[in-house]
Structure 1
């Protein structure tokens, strides 16, 4: 998976990248009532314009991305000065209120997530094969404080083919199975099937369970 992902960015095979802000983010983020100034974690962020939308609404953003090409394209296509620094094992660049951490999401630890108060996943879960998704859901839960919220967008195929991907078919039952041990999971909407691919998007609100501090 790691090599395939890097090859896609290197070769420009990024049909999954949207050239606009995801409409589900615009519709549903305000419903989460996440206060301004809350830092938002965006795992496997690519060069998503959703990060700029969040930043423009007073949310500092911390995106984690394996591909250096994706990160360099994001800052090249943006405006403003770029600062660069290192926090092992990540190379970090910052443009405005968006920080991009280049490295493996599973190497991002709770001591690096002290300021994280929300998350947004449009393309992380569905980029991971079945064997890795449970690890992802557990790791995300370790990074998000109790009571904090996030938005998740999943994809499912009418054929239910779990082998084809990425993006992978992740049905509603699996979303609940993965996240309900640590999150309150609320289904918000299902989109229309995409012509050609047969994918249907589903949107979820997640609230981290646990005692509030």
Structure 2
């Protein structure tokens, strides 16, 4: 999607994708990655998700990447944190205790800028991207994080019935994108109550992506 698409959604408050509470699939399954206390968790395309507050409350450190500075400003306000703001390359870094968010194009986020990552939580990144961008994204994510273990959440529905985002990403595609680097485990698959955006029947799936050959 064009950057302007997302900027306009945040400016207009068109954020139906934003959940008011931590995602139940996160709270149910994140511990299955066996993250150590104080692990640093990366959330790509994080918006102002309440999942960040949950992770911080659980004792994790959070790193994120987000295109919209508006979203990140709101995130810090809702967390009651005053960020230190600095420039790093083409990006703007918002930092406070245990949290660092890089604002800008995710493909400008380097491993150096991001720092060490122990785990990834992807609820809104892979599914936010059209098919043409997902292969590049998945490869880049693994590159900048050293293929850290991941909790990935996807949607599956009849794509012809509704335009994304979120886009439909089925199990075969998850295996195509990540199967060479990770051992994949489907841990929960559930129907989306009322349909996705209230329009189409959809399932929501949680995947554990753990290093292969362990």
Q: Same fold (TM over 0.5)?
A: yes
Partner of 1:176: 175
Deviation at 1:193, TM superposition (A): 3.1
Contact 2:19–2:49 at 8 Å: present in 1 too? Answer: yes
Residues 152 and 64 from structure 1, CA distance in 2 versus in 1: closer, same or farther, beyond 3 angstroms?
A: same
Partner of 1:21: 22
2:83 and 2:144 map into 1 onto residues whose CA distance is 26
Q: Which runs of 5+ in 2 are unaligned?
A: none
Identify which range, 125-134 or 31-40, moves more after superposition: 31-40
Contact 2:38–2:60 at 8 Å: present in 1 too? Answer: yes
**Could you state the TM-score of these two structures normalised by the residue count of structure 1?**
0.92
Contact 1:40–1:117 at 8 Å: present in 2 too? Answer: yes
1:6 and 1:209 map into 2 onto residues whose CA distance is 37
1:179 and 1:163 map into 2 onto residues whose CA distance is 26
Deviation at 1:105, TM superposition (A): 0.8
| Root-mean-square deviation over aligned CA pairs | 1.8
1:95 and 1:200 map into 2 onto residues whose CA distance is 36
Deviation at 1:109, TM superposition (A): 1.2
Identify which range, 77-86 or 2-11, moves more after superposition: 77-86
Post-superposition Cα deviations, 1:63-119, rounded to whole Å, max 9, x if no partner, equal 100011101111122213321122111111123322111011111112223311111
Post-superposition Cα deviations, 1:122-151, rounded to whole Å, max 9, x if no partner, equal 0000100000000011011112336x4110
2:192 and 2:72 map into 1 onto residues whose CA distance is 30
Matches within 5 A, 1:139-150: 139-145=140-146, 148-150=148-150
Deviation at 1:162, TM superposition (A): 8.2
